[in-house]
């Protein structure tokens, strides 16, 4: 996508090339979410920032929630890609790759804060946006696959439920990311790197299951 530098009439508004209205609106929404939070923008504001008329967004989005949901869907897809790269099919070693998932989650929270906020701090009802539910499931599926493979390294009688493992790791990563990583006035300070805190928590958790040197 290509933006014009000054918008219409030198007003500082953005312009878009033909065919890119949808992308222009999504970029505008990301900028507004980053500046004001998920409740801090309207369709009219997104249109103004994109340099189009207030009616133009309705060609693609029925309301602000639909635009916010599209941003969140793309965020989940970006997260899924990051997690899949970190997991790397469990190579070179499943437990180590499992730990890498947590670091990838924190990197996403740090590098893509507007997406992160749209995904987890929005007013959206997941049930009202099937695409959002599906995108979240795709991202979680990476964690579930990883948990399946890690659990399979133990004898059958000692394997923990992989769904439980995936949910626990998600909860730990999200808690550390939300409290200590993302840019927010409520972010808490740490006497260590957030990655170190999460790695220690994941290590203790895996050891409690008889993994990662737990023997």
pTM (2 d.p.):
0.85
How does pLDDT run across 158-175, given as a tens digit for each residue? 999 999 999 999 999 999
How does pLDDT run across 47-95, given as a tens digit for each residue? 999 889 888 888 889 898 999 999 999 999 999 999 999 999 999 999 8
Residue 16 has pLDDT above 70, yes or no: no
Q: State residue 18's pLDDT score.
A: 44
Residue 213 has pLDDT above 70, yes or no: no
The answer to whether 30 and 45 have CB atoms below 8 angstroms apart is: no
Separation of alpha carbons 25 and 1, rounded Å: 12
**What one-character DSSP code corresponds to residue 181?**
I
How does pLDDT run across 104-120, given as a tens digit for each residue? 999 999 999 999 999 99
CATH topology match: 3-59 vs 71-208: no
Residue 140 has pLDDT above 70, yes or no: yes
* DSSP reduced 3-state for 7: coil
Give the CATH fold of the 71-208 domain.
Tetracycline Repressor; domain 2 (1.10.357)
Separation of alpha carbons 76 and 149, rounded Å: 22
* Residue 185 confidence class, pLDDT cut points 50, 70, 90: low
Q: Is the peptide bond before 30 cis (omega within 30 degrees of 0)?
A: no
Spans of all domains in the chain: 3-59, 71-208
Q: Architecture of 3-59 per CATH?
A: Orthogonal Bundle (1.10)
């Amino acid at each position: 996508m290509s933006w014009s530098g000054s918008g219409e009439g030198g007003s500082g508004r953005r312009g878009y090339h033909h065919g890119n209205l949808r992308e222009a609106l999504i970029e505008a929404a990301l900028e507004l979410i980053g500046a004001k939070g998920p409740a801090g923008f309207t369709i009219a504001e997104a249109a103004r920032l994109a340099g189009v008329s207030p009616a133009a967004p309705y060609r693609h989005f029925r309301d602000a929630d639909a635009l916010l949901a599209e941003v969140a869907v793309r965020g989940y897809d970006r997260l899924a890609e990051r997690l899949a790269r970190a997991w790397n099919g469990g190579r070179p070693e499943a437990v180590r790759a499992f730990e890498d998932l947590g670091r990838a989650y924190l990197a996403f929270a740090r590098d893509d804060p507007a997406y992160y906020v749209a995904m987890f701090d929005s007013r959206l009802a997941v049930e009202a946006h099937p695409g959002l539910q599906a995108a979240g499931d795709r991202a979680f599926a990476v964690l579930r696959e990883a948990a399946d493979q890690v659990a399979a390294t133990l004898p059958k009688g000692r394997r923990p439920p992989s769904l439980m493992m995936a949910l626990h790791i998600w909860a730990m990563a999200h808690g550390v990311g939300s409290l200590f990583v993302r840019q927010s006035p409520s972010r808490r300070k740490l006497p260590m790197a957030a990655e170190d805190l999460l790695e220690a928590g994941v290590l203790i958790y895996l050891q409690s299951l008889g993994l990662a040197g737990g023997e």
